[in-house]
Amino acid sequence: MAGTTESGTPFESLYTDEALAGFDPSQALGTPGEFPYTRGIYPSMYTARPWTMRQYAGFGTAAESNARYRELIGHGTTGLSVAFDLPTQMGYDSDAPLAAGEVGKVGVAIDSVDDMRMLFDRIPLADVSTSMTINAPAAVLLLLYQLVAEEQGVPAVALTGTVQNDVLKEYIARGTYIYPPQQSLRLVSDTFAYCAEHLPRWNTISISGYHMAEAGATPAQEIAFTLANAIAYVQAALDAGLAVDDFAPRLSFFFVSRTTLLEEVAKFRAARRIWAQLMRDRFGARNPKSMMLRFHTQTAGVQLTAQQPEVNLVRVAVQALAAVLGGTQSLHTNSFDEAIALPTQKAARLALRTQQVLAYETDITKTVDPFAGSYAVESLTDDVEAVARQLMAAVEDRGGAVAAIEQGFQKSEIERSAYQISQQIDSGERVVVGVNRFALDEEEPYEPLRLDPAVETAQVDRLTRLRSERDGAAVEQALAAVRVAARGSDNVLPPLKAALALRATVGEVCDALRAEWGSYVPTESF
């Protein structure tokens, strides 16, 4: 044995046919595009066309981010991925006291339909697939996007993209929650129902393991806790009266890709197999698209280093290769300077070029599932699946994902893994090139991208003008309608859209829901 995998299973120095004793390829592997989708969800995968190349971007004002998006599109990006600042993620306006010092820092500030209009100025929404990394106020930002598309003359039925909308992982690993879990689940299921009727091509959720992995989750923990959350979302939608095959085809997932290439490929394969079996056998799905685990991948930001940052180019290339060999549907490659500051334009362009080299200069797109039948990868796939199923069973034993979250189970498991990784790095057992081995005596200077502090002042001034120009009485009436819907059982998205169309702000509509649903306060056990 050569040690253990990231998930804690044995890693053999040599895999032979004995490693797969009892392995039935016809049952475990099947054919690409067919149940259980171990080998990929489409028959041809990348032999017909490459994955969608998304670049996650957003900073400062909507105008600045718009310029970066148009540049990325010009360089060959085939899908946009929007990063929002912390106030927007938490449902606060830029002039809220809690927003001070954070406006435009880690993403773009969006306060109203005016900002969303500016964000997508001169970008044809009928032709671009847009992913929005937003969770607690996901429905609000999606409705703003729909309003801007309608202004462009693009019908909602033509819109394609994804809204992350995965609030359960916020309670586990990230913290940008607003409402208590049950109310958050209601907003998620309302979004499912609204999109089934109005935005049928939109992916209504991107159930995310990425942030859990960034917090320290092992590959097995990442897919186990992600799929456990997915079970909770599916059950919430069913409890709300939706039919599984009406919404499940639009579910999507979001995973990390680390430098441990072999185990990452195995992780993606195991996740597809578990999900297919869950949807067919537990939830009775009949539409094959309901059983397909479609996922976006982002390379592992947590593995990037501020020391010798150019080495991150190598790390990202390996991580991207793992995602592609694992069968991702879309991919974001991190910029090499992200451990220092927001990416520069050159760094963002190099990150995109990394994907383009893989797609157009290598031979990995010439065949479907190149690792199929590999002794090592098939054995690792079985191992990751077994550990993931054990963890999923532990979540079920605690009453399901929400109950386990309230007990702090997932968070404590991830924290234990993160502590172990930290110890291994400190001791030198886990090598980080340029940090605990092969370090330089003196780092070379690097000039990061710096934001103008005037961004916040300008954004607050825009809000002041907006409130003076709009029909305040009409906005108040619309917000009252939002509160009425939140108190009852009607879908809250139609009144939310009506309020946003009148130029109600993100903070105002989120406050209307806070007034009825309250805010989540974590327990001491967390």
Please report which confidence band the pLDDT of residue 525 belongs to, taking 50, 70 and 90 as the band edges.
Answer: very low
d(CA 284, CA 278): 9
Which tens digit of pLDDT belongs to each residue from 494-518?
999 999 999 999 999 999 999 999 9
The one-letter amino acid code at 332 reads H
Q: Can you give 411-476 as a three-state secondary structure string?
A: HHHHHHHHHHHHHHHHHCCCCCECCCECCCCCCCCCCCCCCCCHHHHHHHHHHHHHHHHCCHHHHH
Q: Retrieve residue 329's tokens.
A: 């549907």
Q: What is the CATH number of domain 17-427?
A: 3.20.20.240
> What pLDDT score does 27 carry?
59
Tell me the average pLDDT across 17-28: 65
Which tens digit of pLDDT belongs to each residue from 449-503?
777 888 999 999 999 999 999 999 999 999 999 999 999 999 999 999 999 999 9
Task: Check pLDDT > 90 for residue 143.
Answer: yes
Decide which of 433 and 345 is more confident. Answer: 433
Decide: 298 and 258 in contact? Cβ < 8 Å.
Answer: no
Tell me the average pLDDT across 281-294: 98
The CA-atom distances, in angstroms, between 504 and each of 273, 460, 471 are 44, 15, 10
Decide which of 1 and 238 is more confident. Answer: 238
- The percentage of residues in the chain with a pLDDT greater than 90, rounded to a whole number, is 86
Domain spans in the chain, listed from the N-terminal domain onward: 17-427, 459-517
Task: Check pLDDT > 80 for residue 166.
Answer: yes
For residue 457, the tally of other CB atoms under 10 A from its CB is 12
Decide: 256 and 316 in contact? Cβ < 8 Å.
Answer: no
Decide: 278 and 227 in contact? Cβ < 8 Å.
Answer: yes
Which tens digit of pLDDT belongs to each residue from 183-205?
999 999 999 999 999 999 999 99
> What pLDDT score does 29 carry?
78
Within 258-303, strands assigned E span 295-299
> What pLDDT score does 449 carry?
72
Which tens digit of pLDDT belongs to each residue from 399-425?
999 999 999 999 999 999 999 999 999
> What pLDDT score does 403 carry?
96
Tell me the average pLDDT across 265-273: 98
For residue 198, the tally of other CB atoms under 10 A from its CB is 17
Per the document, the length of the chain is 526
Task: Check pLDDT > 50 for residue 526.
Answer: no
The alpha helices in 101-216, defined as continuous H runs, are 113-119, 138-151, 168-169, 181-198, 210-214
- The percentage of residues in the chain with a pLDDT greater than 70, rounded to a whole number, is 97
